[in-house]
Amino acid sequence: MDFRLGEKELALKEEIRRFAEVELPPDWRRSTPIDGECRDFEFEISISKKLAQRGWLVMSWPEEYGGRGASLWEQTVYEMEISYWGIPGAGMGISGTQWVGPCLMMFGTEEQRKKYLPLIASGEKDGVWCTGYSEPNAGSDFANLQTRAVRDGDAYIINGQKVWTSAAHQARWCWLAARTDPNAAKKHQGISIFIVDMKSPGVTVNPILNYYGRHHFNEMFFDNVRVPASNLVGEENKGWYHLMQALAFERRSLAPITYGGFKRALEELVKYAAQTEHEGKPLSQNPVIRAKLSDLAIDLEVLRMFAFQIAWRISQGQIPVYESSRNKIMSDEVMRRVAITGAELLGIYSQVDPDSEWSKLNGTIQGAYLGFPGMAIAAGTAEIEKSIIAQFGLGLPKSY
Amino acid sequence: MDFSLTEEQEMLRILARDFLAKECPKAKVREMDKDGKGYDPQLWRAMAELGWIGLIFPEEYGGMAGSFMDLVVLMEEMGRNILPGPFFSTIALCALPLFEYGSSEQKTKFLPQIARGEAIWTFALAESSGRYKASEVKLRAVSEETNYVLHGCKLFVADAHVADYILVAGRTGKGKRTEDGITLFIVDAREPNVKMEAIPTIGGDRQFKVSFDRVAVPKDNILGKIGNGWDVVDFILQRAAVLKCAEICGACQAVLDMTSSYAKERIQFDRPIGSFQAIQHKLAGMLIDVEAVQYLLYQAAWGISVGSPSPWQISAAKAKANEAYQRICIEAIAAHGAIGYTMDHDIGLYYRRVKAAEFAAGDTDLHREVIAIELGLS
């Protein structure tokens, strides 16, 4: 055993800190990763390009695709630190860097790799992706998706509707799950993955505002959209198995991202507690508050261990199965607890609009409070994740 | 980073699991609940022969020169099997500080005895408040010629009735801090003026009130430096917290395994209850708790193993373990239904031991405080 970070990881942490100091405006205020809305796309893309120039954006990819062959340890530390400092741009089209790229390396064609991977690695607008999974009748029951892809010569014709699609309004490409065989014996057996150019005729994107008015996700309509057959990813009708891999990549990245951002939030709460008086004493001396913040620190540490444990499993050549779901649940739990405990500390100020000058801690806590219920649903609800753990981690029978 | 155990550690785990399953079945655990001694001397000797008792002593003291991490692996298995007896008291609470702070005479005299399974030790710290705080150490120790004379009373002393020696924290003076002026004494448990009264507990373990009525202890029997005993207490509490955490981790894993197996076998509504999400989600929560304890434990233990213990990582592990053990047992009983509430079922054996484990080497509040200070909550 060894629980130290290596020299490379420690050096990287320091480099990212310096990057944040130099590249972010002094009043840069986003300190939790779940604020939801990208407010200045041009600025975020400019940072994205700088991250790419540093060789960080897709650091764990091989050099031929624009990465630098970094270990998953470095990748994990990078995600934690980027999130800690609130550096934007890393999550631009998070689909591309976190799962489209790795999936194309696993089961894309050489032509697809050569075309799309360098674009993602560049940090340019043309490397931004969205992911078309959920539909009105395919949420947790994702295999029930109805969007159709019908072969027509050297192309597929796509018709259907997607919903809750993050960043569809910014993306150049869509990683789309569609049904290619409606007569398959089981519904998950007739699904395939396609790369869709968002500029194709017949693609419509409409914003869906979340309950606090931010534009993060969208609904998408595909009306006879013609996609070249060469944009099929992996095997036709085997998309479900590829998608499970993609979801595992997605869920892996959640723990380090949550850890970094919420570690920062905890540190801010500790400072706030020390500087805020209640009945003649700083809040930090209140035993209830001390106990709650300690518990938060413990769960953050659990999240950190879980994040690195997955990196270790992968470094051993194993494929984590239930661990990604475990990390997703722990990640949501940390967000929920920081939001609720943080709001308790802020007291009456927890209701102030995060953008208002009345807001404490730059609105971090209200952002978390408003955002965490949504984040807990994205990429799989707690109920679905727990069922995955029961089935694959404990070998219990399928429950649905 | 590396989360893997060594091959030797994996082998020790398998050996310990098999040995304990065979030599200490739950029938024996139940028998020991009612036994006068509370442990099986024959099994104790067998463990000594396997080299487990002296596992981490150097060979010159009759040990196997194992690492702290090896001990963690062994104690996880002891916890999994809820091995009754004074292993934790003897090794975690006494032998480790003896090795670290003992004079060479003390080590030569006491450690080989312990390794051979011929001496049982325990540690007496808490007094009437039941708290492990320096300010609560009030037992008086007064210098008289070549002796110190101990007068006072200790509570919740584990396994005192079978102990040959008791490590006692007494007050020899006062200083600026409440930690100053505390000294640790090695006391012969058979001294006539050492009196014991059992404190019956819900756990089937053995704890005692131990009174010291003007007990003379030779000055040679001071462990560490006079007045600096709290440093030794800190050392003990940190190591013991991690080792208790190892026992808890094994116990939690056992409870999860038994509940998961039961959920696959028990049929209701013509289906295994493990196919119901209400049961699945309980079990998934239990698994997350178990793994949280496990990795916090390994990190804290690794720090000790390489000579740089992290107090806050240790406290994080123990605080989490305390809470998780209780939660896991309660969820497990619920998942079992009424059968889990019976004397015949094993879950109760674990649940009844939650509180003893929680208060050994620091309760949750104590460990949260360590973390609060580390966070900078002043």
What residues in B contact A399, CB-CB < 8 Å?
A: 275-277, 280
Q: State the best of A5, A283, A294 to mutate against chain B, taking most chain B CBs within 10 Å.
A: A294
Average pLDDT estimate for B195-218 = 96
Distance CA A340, CA A303 (A): 18
Tell me, yes or no, whether A38 and A171 share the same domain: no
Pick the CATH number of B231-375 from 3.30.420.40, 3.90.79.10, 1.10.10.10, 1.20.140.10: 1.20.140.10
Q: Which residues of chain B does A264 touch, with a Cβ-Cβ cutoff of 8 Å?
A: none
Q: What's the domain range around A298? A: 241-393
Confidence of residue A146 (pLDDT cuts 50, 70, 90): very high
Do residues B155 and B189 make contact, with C-beta atoms less than 8 angstroms apart?
Answer: no
CATH for A225: 2.40.110.10
pLDDT band at B33; cut points 50, 70, 90? very high
Lowest-pLDDT range, A37-46, B161-170, B359-368?
A: A37-46
In this predicted structure, what is the pLDDT of residue B185? 98
Q: Do B316 and A290 touch (CB under 8 A)?
A: no
The residue out of A208, A237, A266 marking a domain boundary is: A237
Report whether pLDDT(A228) > 70.
yes
Show residues of chain A in contact with B374, CB under 8 Å. Answer: 297
* AA letter at A123: G
Paired strand residues for B216: B149
Nearest to residue A343, comparing CAs of A311, A280, A296, A306?
A296
Is the same domain home to A248 and A384?
A: yes
Residues A176 and A112 in one domain: no
Q: Which residues of B touch A326 (CB under 8 A)?
A: 287-288, 291
- Domain check: are A286 and A362 in the same one? yes
Question: Identical fold at B122-227 and B231-375?
Answer: no
* Helical (H) or strand (E) element with A11: helix A7-23
State whether A96 and A24 are in the same domain. yes
Residue A361 has pLDDT above 70, yes or no: yes
Assigned domain for A88 exists: yes
The band of B21, judged by pLDDT with boundaries at 50, 70 and 90, is very high
Are A73 and A137 members of one domain?
no
Q: Hunting for tokens 């036709």 — which residue is that?
A: A236
CA closest to B6 among chain A residues: A1
| CATH number for A98 | 1.10.540.10
CATH topology of domain B122-227: Butyryl-CoA Dehydrogenase, subunit A; domain 2 (2.40.110)
Query: CA-CA distance, B282 to B277, in Å (whole number)?
Result: 8
Q: What is the pLDDT of residue A31?
A: 46
Residue at A398 is within a domain: no
Specify whether the CB–CB gap between A199 and A236 falls below 8 A.
no
Task: Enumerate residues 6+ apart whose C-beta is below 8 A from B340.
Answer: B332, B333, B334, B347, B348
pLDDT in tens, A364-390: 999 999 999 999 998 889 999 999 999
**What is the tally of structural domains in chain A?**
3
* Out of A2, A273, A285, closest to residue B2 by CB: A2
Residue of B193, B128, B103, B120 whose CA lies nearest to B158 = B120
| pLDDT value at residue A251 | 80
Q: Is the pTM of this model over 0.80?
A: yes
- Closest residue in chain A to residue B320, using alpha carbons only: A298
Q: Is residue A399 part of a domain?
A: no
Domain edge (last residue) among A203, A237, A271? A237
Q: Does residue A180 share a domain with residue A81?
A: no
Mean pLDDT of chain B: 97
Q: Is the pLDDT of residue B178 over 90?
A: yes
Q: Which tens digit of pLDDT belongs to each residue from B134-172?
A: 999 999 999 999 999 999 999 999 999 999 999 999 999
Same domain for A253 and A375?
yes
Distance CA B165, CA B121 (A): 5
- Which residues lie below 8 Å from residue A144, measured CB to CB, with a gap of 6+? A135, A137, A138, A187
Check: CB of residue A75 under 8 Å from CB of residue A60: yes
Do both A49 and A146 map to the same domain? no
Say what the ipTM of the complex is: 0.96
Asked if B280 lies within 8 A of A284 by C-beta distance, the reply is no
Residue of B nearest to A3 (CA): B1
Residue A28 has pLDDT above 80, yes or no: no
B7-120: CATH topology: Butyryl-Coa Dehydrogenase, subunit A; domain 1 (1.10.540)
pLDDT at position B378: 85
Q: Report the mean per-residue pLDDT for chain A.
A: 93
Q: Is residue A2 part of a domain?
A: no
Q: What is the mean pLDDT of residues A3-31?
A: 89
Mutate to test the interface with B, among A2, A3, A385, A389 (most CBs of B within 10 A): A3
- Residue B105 — φ and ψ, nearest 5°? -65, -45
pLDDT of A171 reads 95
Mean pLDDT of A314-331: 91
Residues B264, A387: C-beta atoms closer than 8 Å: no
Answer yes or no: is A324 within a domain: yes
A97 in the same domain as A29: yes
| Domain end marker among A237, A257, A290 | A237
Is residue B276 less than 8 Å (CB to CB) from chain A? Answer: yes
Give me the mean pLDDT over the B105-132 stretch: 97
Q: Quick one: average pLDDT of B303-323?
A: 97
> A251 lies in a domain?
yes
Same domain, A120 and A58: yes
Please check the confidence at residue A35 and state whether its pLDDT lies above 70: no
Give the tens place of pLDDT for each residue, B51-90: 999 999 999 999 999 999 999 999 999 999 999 999 999 9
Domain ranges of chain B: 7-120, 122-227, 231-375
Task: Give the number of A-B residue pairs with CB atoms closer than 8 Å.
Answer: 147
Based on the domain organization, do A190 and A308 belong to the same domain? no
Residue A378, in any domain of the structure: yes
CA distances from A71 to A58, A98, A185, A327 (A): 11, 14, 41, 20
With a pLDDT cut of 90, the percent of chain B lying above it is 99
Beta-strand ranges (E) seen in chain A are 129-132, 148-152, 155-166, 173-179, 191-197, 203-209, 215-228, 232-233, 277-278, 281-282
- Residue A37: its pLDDT value, please? 66
Greater confidence (A257 vs A38) lies with A257
Q: Say whether pLDDT at A320 is over 90.
A: no
* Axis-axis angle for helices A322-346, B277-305 (nearest 10): 80
DSSP string, A251-275: HHHHHHHHHHHHHHHHHHHHHHHHH
Q: Give the tokens for residue B126.
A: 């808490």
* pLDDT band of A40, cuts 50, 70, 90: confident
Instruction: Return the structure tokens found at B218.
Output: 């030779």
The dihedral region occupied by A123, where left means phi > 0, alpha psi between -120 and 50, and beta the remainder, is left
Comparing CB atoms, the residue among B2, B291, B368 nearest residue A1 is: B2
